[in-house]
Amino acid sequence: MPELPEVETVRRGLEPAMAGQVIAQAQVNRPDLRWPLPEAMADRLQGATVTALRRRSKYILADLSTGETLIIHLGMSGRMLISGLAIGQFHHDHPAPQKHDHVILEMGNGARITFNDARRFGAMDLAPTVSVEEHWLLRDLGPEPLGNAFDGPYLAGRLKGRNTPMKSALLDQRIVAGLGNIYVCEVLHRSGISPRRKAGNISSARAAGLVPVIRDVLNDAIEAGGSSLRDYRQADGELGYFQHTFRVYDREGEPCRGEGCGGTIRRVVQSGRSSFYCPSCQR
């Protein structure tokens, strides 16, 4: 499932095509994705101007001139693809309709935004912009890891006394929003912390030291266009490249890339998810 860097990369790709533009035509090809789509969705989108395009955790939020916000979640295989508009040095013509093109937005500038989702684990909803943070998908989310509310004292306080492993604590969206399996593995390796270590046993200073590492990993991944492992593509259809610099994720049995370490990457299963780490340099 796309994590914060992938969603932010898609948002940045969509922004030139959508922000400030009118949705000239909206086509909704099915009544549901992971959950039912909002009632009269096409009629509510058509004619609206996208006043802002932002991200909250793993969700893209398109604020509309109608006072509603379109909430978009990519799910496991969802893609938001742009055609009919020059992106950088390239012009992407409108492709032939595909089987899993579920929502299509024709923008006033000639761009077409297509939401394609083969597995239909994605989601879309409409909510009043003034109260969108209270939407059931967003209301329990913790602070953004790249925002000012996420700092050393905050994270140290949230980890204090917790009996869960560090991996589980950082995946808890109520503690910090947007982190997923890939980037938590990478953060813990850069920090030298074992994913199996109890969160409550981490000192306040070490917990605070995680904050800049989390930001560095996320910013590096965004700069690389995210990580493409299976279905993920950027808005222009290109792959992300951060997977080529993974230190531990999906590298079981390979040498640790930590300077002077010499250890071997190991995989363990925690709460049904694979954790990759180096037992030699992560304690």
pLDDT tens profile 131-182: 999 999 999 999 999 999 999 999 999 999 999 999 999 999 999 999 999 9
* Residue labelled with tokens 């979640």: 73
Distance CA 267, CA 275 (A): 5
Active site residue 167: no
Distance CA 48, CA 7 (A): 23
| 210 CA to centre of own chain | 19
Phi, psi of 189 (to 5 degrees): -65, -45
Would the CATH topology of 4-134 be identical to that of 152-277? no
For the chain, which residues score pLDDT lower than 50? 89, 232
Q: What phi-psi label fits residue 123: left (phi over 0), alpha (psi between -120 and 50 degrees) or beta?
A: beta
Which position among 58, 112, 167, 247 bears the catalytic label?
Answer: 58
Q: Which two tokens stand for residue 174?
A: 């109520």
The SS3 assignment for 212 reads: helix
Domain ranges of the chain: 4-134, 152-277
In sequence order, the β-bridge partners of residue 8 are none
The alpha carbon dihedral of 56, 60, 64, 67 has a sign of: negative
**CA dist list (Å): 97 to 34, 104, 149, 172, 262:** 21, 10, 43, 38, 51
Distance CA 244, CA 267 (A): 19
Query: DSSP per residue over 61-116, as a string?
Result: EEEETTSEEEEEE-TTT-EEEEESSEETTEE-PPPPP-TTEEEEEEETTS-EEEEE
Active site residue 198: no
Q: What is the pLDDT of residue 242?
A: 64
Active site residue 99: no
Exposed / middle / buried, residue 184 (Cβ in 10 Å: 0-12, 13-18, 19+): buried
Other Cβ atoms less than 10 A from the Cβ of 277: the count is 25
Which position among 34, 162, 198, 273 bears the catalytic label?
Answer: 273
Q: What is the pLDDT of residue 232?
A: 47
Q: What is the pLDDT of residue 91?
A: 56
Q: Which two tokens stand for residue 178?
A: 């947007």
Q: What is the pLDDT of residue 45?
A: 98
Which position among 3, 6, 8, 68 bears the catalytic label?
Answer: 3
Q: What is the pLDDT of residue 251?
A: 94
Q: Which long-range contacts (CB under 8 A, 24 or more apart) does 31-35 make?
A: 32/120, 33/75, 33/102, 33/117, 33/120, 33/121, 33/122, 33/123, 33/124, 34/73, 34/75, 34/120, 34/121, 34/122, 34/123, 35/123, 35/125
Active site residue 279: no
Look at domain 152-277 and name its CATH class: mainly alpha
Look at domain 4-134 and name its CATH class: alpha beta
Distance CA 8, CA 10 (A): 5
